[in-house]
Amino acid sequence: MTIADLGTARFSELPASQAFSQQQGKASLNRLPPELPERQSLSGLTEGFWHKYAGRLWLSYATDMMDVDIIPSFTAGIVRLRGETTLQTRGAVLSQNRDLLAAIRSRALKLLEDSHRGAMTIRSLGGDYDIDICVRPSLPEKPPYVSIIRAFIDEDKLAAARKLLATAISEGERGMEIETLQTVLALPKVRPSTKTDAKRDKEYQWLQRFAAAHRGKWVAISGEELVAEGHSLKELRAKLAGLALAKPPLVHFIS
């Protein structure tokens, strides 16, 4: 357990609350720093987990838990939501602990500022005690979308690649590489067509009977007839160009 001095408060890093509960059970309260005059919890998950151990007053990071990154140096729960860190405090009990809140807020913001080297804004959500503190990084901290999407494609994870591409575009990613990925991952525009092919039963019969004698050749078959063959497709095409055929032949390489 690591404890960072926060002035009039202390900042404790704790393991995942569920693990903490399983390992410590009811005795877990005794493992929290006993010298804390008030216990606050900072949780990147929900408001409830640590609060049950920490007491009445809590400080939590509000997030929908989607697309969040846990900042390693603050494993107790500072979370980053797409580059924006939100520290939310709430609860009427804060009215009884304004000094403490101020101290915590001040120190936490300093930590966040140092961590992100970004600008900070503080806004009130209404009332005196509900305050959102947002630290916005001055530089964009977007994931390397293109390289991740390319990695997904290399691993043939098309659904993941498409999903991340949509996210990247929604977050303003642009450029030639994004356009290329859009093109490659685009879904084909399927449409019916009335142009059909001839029935090919006779061509299939020819293949079954005679293919073995033409291994290594490109063949063009029409009905039961071999109309041309060649050692390469180019040679076959050249031969076909000189023929007047009633219907396009089936072209195939016999391996």
Partner 1 sequence: MLKLDGADFTIGRAKFFDDPPGGGEPTAKVFIRIVLEGQDTPIFAQLDTGSPWSILAREHAEELGLLGNADGMEKNLSTREGMKAGRLVKVSLTIPADEDEGQSLDIPEATVFVSEDWPVGRSFIGYGGLIELIRIGLDPQENYFYFGPNGLGEQHPE
Q: Which residues bind partner 1 (CB under 8 A)?
A: 150, 153-154, 156, 158, 180-181, 183-201, 204, 207-208, 211-212, 214-215, 218, 220, 232-234, 237, 240, 248-255
Beta strand 2-6 with 59-60 is unpaired
The DSSP code sequence of 13-72 is: E---HHHHHHHHGGGHHHHS-TT-SS---EESS-SHHHHHHH-S--EE----SSSEEE-G
What's the closest the beta carbon of residue 199 comes to partner 1, in angstroms? Answer: 5
Q: What is the spatial distance between Cα 25 and Cα 29, in angstroms, rounded to a whole number?
A: 9
CB of 224 to partner 1, least distance (A): 15
CA nearest 103: which of 236, 6, 4?
Answer: 6
Alpha-carbon span 140 to 133, nearest angstrom? 19
State which residue, 136 or 234, has the beta carbon closest to partner 1. Answer: 234
User: How far is residue 20's CA from residue 4's CA, in Å, rounded to a whole number?
Assistant: 19
Show the tokens assigned to 36.
């804390």
Q: How many residues does the chain have?
A: 255
The minimum distance between CB 247 and partner 1, in angstroms, equals 9
Residue 170 Cβ, how far from partner 1 at the closest point, in Å? 20
For the CB of residue 233, give the shortest distance to partner 1 in the complex, in Å: 4
Minimum CB distance to partner 1, residue 213 (Å)? 10
Residue-wise over 155-172: b if at least 16 C-beta within 10 A, else e?
eeeeeebbebbebbeeee
